[in-house]
Amino acid sequence: MNFKNNTVFDCSVIDVSKVHNEAGNITVIENGVNIPFSVKRIYYLYDIPGGESRGGHAHYELEQYIIAASGSFDVILDDGRNKKTVTLNRPNMALHIVPGLWRELYNFSSGAISLVLASHKYDENDYMRDYKEFLDFKK
Ligand code: TYD
């Protein structure tokens, strides 16, 4: 499929909800229940040094949920025409990123953990790592 027409407005922050308990909360994400794709891979970013940024690429096919499992950070989304900045700071809020968007993660708080649920296994061929290549793809 070709996702070149996807825009930042196709991305949203979804409250995946939580089960509240006096002894602590639990959030559950289950295929077919509160996520619009099937999860094939989970990874998380942690020990991110102050001032660092991550991302700086787009995907042809990959769809993701990005969650601040701990701490906070900002995500800038870019479709080649529009940019949108989203702050993630609650473990029950998931940013749904559709395929075909440039993204950058920055402003990580100390101890932040960025949990990513992904629709496909790791495939370097699915990455656009060059911004010009990305803009050409979006034309
Ligand atoms: P990358 O997705 O570029 O990181 P980020 O967007 O967080 O800055 O991945 C960085 C490196 O990690 C990449 O070159 C290869 C490796 N990697 C894997 O081997 N498997 C994975 O699932 C991911 C996400 C990354």
Q: Each residue of 9-56: pLDDT tens digit?
A: 999 999 999 999 999 999 999 999 999 999 999 999 999 999 999 999
- Pocket lining: 97 vs ligand 1, CB cutoff 6 Å: no
Main-chain phi, psi angles of 15, to 5 degrees: -80, 105
Q: Which two tokens stand for residue 72?
A: 């906070």
The residue contributing the CA closest to ligand 1 atom 20 is 122
> What integer pLDDT is reported at residue 114 of this predicted model?
98
Which residues carry out catalysis? Answer: 57
Q: What's the angle, vertex CA 106, arms to CA 138 and CA 78, rounded to 5? A: 15
Q: Which two tokens stand for residue 111?
A: 């101890």
> What integer pLDDT is reported at residue 109 of this predicted model?
98
Sign of CA dihedral 33, 38, 40, 41: negative
Q: Each residue of 75-124: pLDDT tens digit?
A: 999 999 999 999 999 999 999 999 999 999 999 999 999 999 999 999 99
Flag whether pLDDT at 1 surpasses 90. no
Return the ligand 1 atom nearest residue 116 CA.
Answer: 24
What whole-number distance in Å separates Cα of residue 91 and Cα of residue 59? 24
Q: Which residues pair with residue 95 across a beta bridge?
A: 13, 66
- Pocket lining: 95 vs ligand 1, CB cutoff 6 Å: no
> What integer pLDDT is reported at residue 2 of this predicted model?
75
> What integer pLDDT is reported at residue 45 of this predicted model?
98
Q: What is the identity of the amino acid at 56?
A: G
